[in-house]
Structure 1
Amino acid sequence: MHISLSALFGFILGIGLFASAVFFNTDNYLMFFSLSSLLMVIGGTIAAAMISYDGRYVALAFKEILSTMVSSKVNPVKLYEDVGELIDWSKIIRTQGLVKLERIIELPDEETSFLNQSFVFLLSGYKGAHLYNLLQHSRESIYESNMRPAKVLLTMASTAPAFGMVGTLVGLIIMLNSMEGDPSKIGGGLAVALLTTLYGVLMAQLVLKPAARKLEHKQDLEAQRNLILTEGIVLLSEGATPLVIQDTMNSYLHPNFQFRKVTKH
């Protein structure tokens, strides 16, 4: 697990800008804290998400919030390693066959389910267009499943400001009802009422939306990797040479991270 420095910097910068605005304009910092307002926004947002989606997807959405500061597992180095692995597999298949490959290859438990499924399809003897269609369906299914938490996060991002406004309206009603004809109470009461809107906007713009976009970014990178693996697995099934696999895979990679090892037909 690697911390994303850019995400961490962005979060600290956002919090820092808000804290600086408070620090340079008032000495009463506690006026920006209201437990009831915070509970209104958080509770309402979670309630709306639970009503709209299955609980397991809401739980996954919260897990993704915690993973916002974690870098994606897919990067140019990882893709480079994938190409090298596919080339090694092709050498084993051409010299010793699929049975030998099945015996010596052990996929790690943390590996993506797509690669595990691809390996199963390959060992089952599927080839060419049939194998490509199977892998394409598997790839699309995995992508759609992994994107559901992002939809939950975007829904929560849209409802958080709404519940902030609900809290503001509740605060205004309470304030107006308790004024008893004293206009001097408007300022303090209005400030407390507006805190829920502030919390809702901050939660949506600094937590929920960035988490959703980060998840989308990670899944787009994962989808690109799965596409590369699809092409490689199909070539393996057709008995392509290591050099053909190398050149085909390199066409998907950045020039600085292409596999340049010289191989023979």
Structure 2
Amino acid sequence: MDIATLIGLVGGFGLIVTTVLMGGNAGGFVDPPSLVVVVGGTLAATFVMFPLKTVIGTAKVAMKTILFKSQDPQDMIRLITSLADTARKESLVALEKVNIDDAYLKKGVMLVVDGSSESLVRSVMEIELDFMKQRHRAGQGVFKGMGTMAPAFGMIGTLIGLVNMLQNLSDPSSIGPAMAVALLTTFYGAVLANVVFLPLATKLEQRSEEDALFMQIMIEGVASLQKGDHPTVVKEKLQAFLSPALREES
């Protein structure tokens, strides 16, 4: 679980609520019609921008920012190095009996064991990598779209409120409260965009990059297995994917 996402969301809303309460008029920040305009309008625009299946699947995608099991790239490198050692001491066929939990790596190894050419193995694995990135970009796009639309509908709600206010200028005492309500939609839109939607899109983009790095390590690792590289060479080659700080931890 990625506790940082929860800390950010709870902390962001907590700071806003605390500031509102310190102002002494929390009730003035609650306006259901304004919330309906921002949330409803944002969702409506999102359904226009993206296919229904993509939008509905957004909830599952969002959970990836929280229920994310962090992986250590060194563990993957050690596993591939171990496979290289097994293949060198015995044979590539011996890898068929090795228990490999990662489905992506197992697919690549099985292709090698079956005698597939290096170009075919790399092509199959890279195609899956490309489609993984494409799927992830769809989820990121939904949140980026919502982050763009929320402030826009906040402004629309504000304009609606201003129009209603200007139509009732005969009562000066109502101008202040009406202006406050009109500005609430902008407030709601800004909060949702900058505390929820855009940060989640950025976190998903980071998760996608991490997944892609692991898959690239596995692609090169499988290619090294197929070439019969020495385990030490395999390890050094895969370490090149990591930052110097991570390499020092190995």
Name the structure 2 match of 1:21. 19
**How many matched pairs?**
250
SS in structure 2 at match of 1:181 = coil
Counterpart for residue 126 of structure 1: 116
Matches within 5 A, 1:146-157: 146-157=136-147
CA positional deviation for 1:64 = 3.3
Deviation at 1:145, TM superposition (A): 1.7
Q: CA RMSD in A?
A: 2.5
1:29 Cα deviation after fit: 0.7
Shift of 1:258: 4.0
Shift of 1:73: 2.4
Work out the CA distance in 1 between the residues paired with 2:34 and 2:106: 47
**Residues 127-158 of structure 1: CA distance to partner in whole angstroms, max 9, x if unpaired?**
43443333223222211222210011101110
State the TM-score, normalizing by the size of structure 2. 0.87
2:150 is aligned with 1:160? yes
Measure, in 1, the Cα distance between the counterparts of 2:158 and 2:50. 26
Could you list the runs of 5+ residues in structure 2 that have no partner in the other structure?
A: none
C-alpha change, 1:235 and 1:224, in structure 2 (3 Å) is same
Q: What's 1:41 paired with?
A: 38
Q: Distance in 2 between matches of 1:259 and 1:137?
A: 32
Provide the secondary structure at the position in 1 that maps to 2:45.
helix
Provide the C-alpha distance between the structure 2 equivalents of 1:41 and 1:64, rounded to a whole number of angstroms: 22
Q: Distance in 2 between matches of 1:255 and 1:176?
A: 62
**Structure 1 unaligned spans of 5+:** none
Q: Secondary structure at the match of 1:24?
A: helix
Aligned to 2:84: 90
Instruction: Please give the per-residue CA displacement for 1:177-215, whole angstroms capped at 9, x wherever unaligned.
Output: 4x2721211111111121111101110011000000000
Please name the residue that 2:135 is paired with: 145
In 2: Cα distance, 1:79 partner to 1:175 partner: 59
Shift of 1:120: 4.1
> 1:8-63, CA deviations, whole angstroms, 9 ceiling, x for partnerless residues?
443344224323432333x2211101122112211111111111111222133333
Q: Percent identity?
A: 29
Question: For the residues of structure 2 that align with 1:91 and 1:117, how far apart are their CA atoms?
Answer: 19
Partner Cα separation in structure 1 for residue 124 and residue 99 of structure 2:
22
User: Distance between the aligned counterparts of 1:59 and 1:227, measured in 2?
Assistant: 30
